[in-house]
Structure 1
């Protein structure tokens, strides 16, 4: 019992310390040595993510609120969506935490697919969920977002808060500026997302801060069948290219191909 308590306290202290380090990093310039040390730490996070996810096949990222419990309708919808996509041969990637992320990873397991996560170190709320085959814990949000995008061929956003909106709008910006192409950005749950679409159409578009075709970047649906159709239509080329990619781990770099954990 004492060992477990000590482990949990050490883990909490590590997360608090990581949060404090990032606060200091974002508060302004530090010494040259401290800035160099931070750059090396960020580079290490990128390398850690690259090594873990380098051998993934076709992948779809699902994200949404960390606060929905398993009896919530959105939890069940995310679980079923991931299950069906996993059965079609897609890897399911999430932010690695609870709520919608847990539901998606759980569905991936049930569908016999690979379930991976990009967890973030936070003092509270975010813990890796128990349905992950492989996961990496990141200290920096921006490194985590690169991983979520780099290895995916589509995004599905279920209802969520600031973090979900951040990921939605960053992805929309990358699509708008053609940094990524043939990349479906699907918003699941029309009742939740329709006010956002109305804001885009009646405020941003009306004031000419976006173009008419920018509104088409976000695809809203309540149908899992439609999600599957959108992904097969819009991301078919990327998925096919990823499927053909055959890269073997190099043993002398201690690399390992991802494996599926038995349910």
Structure 2
């Protein structure tokens, strides 16, 4: 069986497989089985693995006796290390009415702050299991998708021309059939996810949404106000288009933006960075940014240079003055690419309006 075929991530999937009389060899991931004791007692569970599945003591004893591996739920955690699905904004921001500090996102960051340097191998193991589960869920979600990454600075404020430009880019890319993936944070990242979210809506929706958002232009000083403004937009246009945000609790002062329909949030920033770039197989767009965006440019250029991912990923840098003068990345990138297969896969453009055509020409 292919790995995805042996994973059970919902109660409906469990019921369908258990009805055949055998769960042997399956991996059951974070499914509440307290009401499925009879099924567990009746089915063959040899060689099965149960990750974070609540079950009654007699059911647990039986599956262990069958030879199954059982990793029980971990109590008092603000996150599920065995989760089988990506996050949604509603899940991460649950309880926002009581302030951002009450949300699972904020509580998980607080747990991370308390445990990241305590030397406890159990805490580090939980973080690693969680991040691996998120990687698996992200691969499943993006299977068959043409993904374009949009990178950019977190400091871009709602209401400004750079924010609007990033939003229009996200909308155009989504309408062309691409899946937009961003770093999942505020600023230019949020704008690109917003554009993808509003891709199914009439063109005028974006202008109206920008007017609603500019009342809370930044996540500082109030993440709560910033997030509430975003959820007001989501309520105004429910059921938006698909896109992915890939943020990290490593930068906990930056909240995830609520416009990515699915969120792959990690504890380890290095895993998050590499995963985002590696999955952006249809190209990566780099909007003006600072240190983080510069790092992402060369994180993507390195495998392109050595050919470690096969055909080089298209790279488009937006903002000639920014990338040649303010932060002169382009001359170095061009020098690296000279004479190599990636040379025809890099481009520098003046504005986001040029990006779709340039990407299309390089694909």
TM over 0.5: yes
For residues 164 and 37 of structure 1, do their structure 2 counterparts lie closer, same or farther at Cα, with a shift above 3 Å needed? Answer: same
CA shift for structure 1 position 107: 0.6
CA contact (8 A) 1:116 1:135 kept: yes
CA contact (8 A) 1:185 1:219 kept: yes
The CA RMSD measured in Å over matched residues stands at 3.1
Give the structure 1 partner of residue 192 of structure 2: 104
CA contact (8 A) 1:159 1:189 kept: yes
Specify which of 298, 301, 322 is matched with residue 169 of structure 1: 298
For residues 146 and 6 of structure 1, do their structure 2 counterparts lie closer, same or farther at Cα, with a shift above 3 Å needed? Answer: closer
Query: Deviations for 1:117-153, whole angstroms, at most 9, x for unmatched residues?
Result: 1121146531121212111221111111232123212
For residues 129 and 5 of structure 1, do their structure 2 counterparts lie closer, same or farther at Cα, with a shift above 3 Å needed? Answer: closer
Asked which structure has the greater RCO (Cα within 8 Å, sep 6+), the reply is 1
Mapped to 1, the partners of 2:251 and 2:294 lie a distance apart of 21
CA contact (8 A) 1:60 1:93 kept: yes
Mapped to 1, the partners of 2:354 and 2:150 lie a distance apart of 15
Larger radius of gyration: 2
| Number of aligned residue pairs | 221
CA contact (8 A) 1:62 1:92 kept: yes
Specify which of 321, 338, 342 is matched with residue 191 of structure 1: 321
For residues 2 and 221 of structure 1, do their structure 2 counterparts lie closer, same or farther at Cα, with a shift above 3 Å needed? Answer: closer
Give the structure 1 partner of residue 150 of structure 2: 62
Give the structure 2 partner of residue 4 of structure 1: 98
Give the structure 1 partner of residue 277 of structure 2: 149
Mapped to 1, the partners of 2:244 and 2:256 lie a distance apart of 10
| SS of 1:137 mapped into structure 2 | coil
CA shift for structure 1 position 10: 7.1
Matches within 5 A, 1:246-261: none
Mapped to 1, the partners of 2:287 and 2:315 lie a distance apart of 11
Specify which of 191, 200, 222 is matched with residue 332 of structure 2: 200
TM-score, normalised via structure 2 length: 0.54
| SS of 1:111 mapped into structure 2 | coil
Structure 2 runs not aligned, ≥5 long: 1-94, 201-240
For residues 20 and 158 of structure 1, do their structure 2 counterparts lie closer, same or farther at Cα, with a shift above 3 Å needed? Answer: farther
Give the structure 1 partner of residue 347 of structure 2: 219
For residues 159 and 23 of structure 1, do their structure 2 counterparts lie closer, same or farther at Cα, with a shift above 3 Å needed? Answer: farther
